[in-house]
């Protein structure tokens, strides 16, 4: 396959960026999208041109490192998969492919296609954990969880934190990520002690960096793990409840 790539090149966080054309020849349709970029980079290296920087790690759709805006679609035209799981057979010979990084104020560009997603870590730090008593492990079946609840929690826990939800959102909102990270704990018995402080802390932290939700639903379609916007509704409901419950808890402690 012969392709024309238009790739976002940016030398550093504050450098101006622009789309640069790269003609690419002899690409196998069996290559993954990232392997194709590897080939392009080998070619650039041989010509003495700085290779294209892009994030990647496991290349099997579970780590959440890769993420590219391909032809105006987060993670490309294949739904329910990350960029690394996209193969070149999804494109036609002679296609022009525009590749851009995630663009959001909360995701500053490090270089080319690599962005800094540490704002997601700040949101997790704010409340994405549970209190675990130390000592010997409790009996395996001590805390019973209905199968349906465990499944629903797992649906939220499938989030790999890639940031496609933010990238796809016209408002650069991180609602789907934050809602998933809240829900996978708050649905389970183990997540109950911090349920109300968690939602308030994580939403407040999220709003320091990201936009607000206008319920377009783009995040849900962009998500490589197909996480539902139902979790956003749950987060909104819990946030309001937390405003009442946390006040009552505070009144107990004086």
Question: Which positions lie near another protein, rule CB under 8 A?
Answer: 6, 8, 19, 69, 71-73, 79, 98, 100, 103-106, 109, 126-127, 131, 170-173, 194, 197-198, 200-201, 203-204, 207, 209-218, 220-222, 229-230, 232-240, 242-243, 246-247, 249-250
Q: Terminal CA-to-CA distance of the chain, rounded, Å?
A: 69
Separation between Cα atoms, residue 10 and residue 15, nearest integer Å: 6
Closer to another protein at the Cβ: 32 or 119? 119
- The backbone torsions φ and ψ at residue 152, rounded to the nearest 5 degrees and listed phi first, read -65, -40
Q: Which is nearer to another protein, 26 or 248 (CB)?
A: 248
Query: CA–CA distance from 134 to each of 124, 139, 140, 195, 197 (Å)?
Result: 21, 14, 15, 20, 22
Q: How far is the CB of 58 from another protein (least distance, A)?
A: 25
Dihedral, CA atoms, 144, 147, 148, 152, nearest 10 degrees? 80
d(CA 216, CA 168): 10
Dihedral over Cα of 155, 161, 164, 167: its sign = positive
Report, in Å, the least distance between residue 131 CB and another protein. 8
Distance CA 157, CA 21 (A): 38
C-beta closer to another protein: residue 13 or 189:
13
* Beta carbons of 90 and 78 less than 8 angstroms apart: yes
Q: Which is nearer to another protein, 85 or 175 (CB)?
A: 175
CB of 222 to another protein, least distance (A): 8
Query: CB of residue 201 vs another protein: minimum separation in angstroms?
Result: 5
- Min separation Cβ 30 and another protein, Å: 25
Q: Report the distance separating Cα 178 and Cα 78, nearest Å.
A: 24
Instruction: Give the nearest distance from C-beta 193 to another protein in angstroms.
Output: 10
**Residue nearer to another protein on the CB measure, 63 or 98:** 98
Residue 112 vs residues 11, 74, 99, 241: alpha-carbon distances, Å: 7, 16, 10, 42
């Amino acid at each position: 396959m012969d392709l024309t790539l238009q790739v976002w090149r940016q030398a550093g966080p504050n450098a101006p960026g622009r789309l640069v054309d790269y003609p690419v020849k002899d690409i196998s349709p069996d290559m993954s999208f990232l392997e194709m970029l590897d080939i392009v980079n080998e070619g650039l290296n041989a010509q003495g041109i700085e290779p294209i920087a892009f994030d990647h790690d496991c290349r099997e759709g579970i780590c959440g490192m890769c993420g590219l805006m391909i032809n105006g679609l987060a993670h490309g035209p294949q739904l329910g998969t990350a960029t690394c799981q996209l193969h070149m057979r999804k494109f036609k010979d002679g296609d022009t492919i525009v590749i851009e990084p995630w663009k959001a104020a909360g995701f500053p560009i490090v270089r080319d296609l690599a962005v800094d997603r540490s704002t997601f870590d700040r949101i997790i730090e704010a409340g994405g954990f549970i209190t675990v008593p130390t000592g010997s492990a409790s009996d395996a079946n001590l805390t019973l969880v209905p199968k349906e609840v465990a499944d629903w929690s797992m649906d939220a826990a499938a989030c790999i934190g890639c940031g496609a939800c933010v990238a796809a959102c016209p408002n650069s909102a991180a609602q789907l990520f934050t809602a998933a990270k809240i829900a996978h704990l708050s649905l389970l018995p183990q997540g109950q002690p911090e349920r109300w402080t968690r939602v308030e802390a994580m939403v407040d932290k999220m709003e320091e960096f990201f936009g607000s939700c206008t319920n377009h639903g783009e995040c849900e379609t962009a998500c490589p793990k197909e996480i539902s916007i139902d979790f956003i509704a749950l987060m909104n409901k819990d946030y309001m409840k937390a405003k009442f419950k946390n006040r009552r808890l505070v009144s107990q402690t004086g």
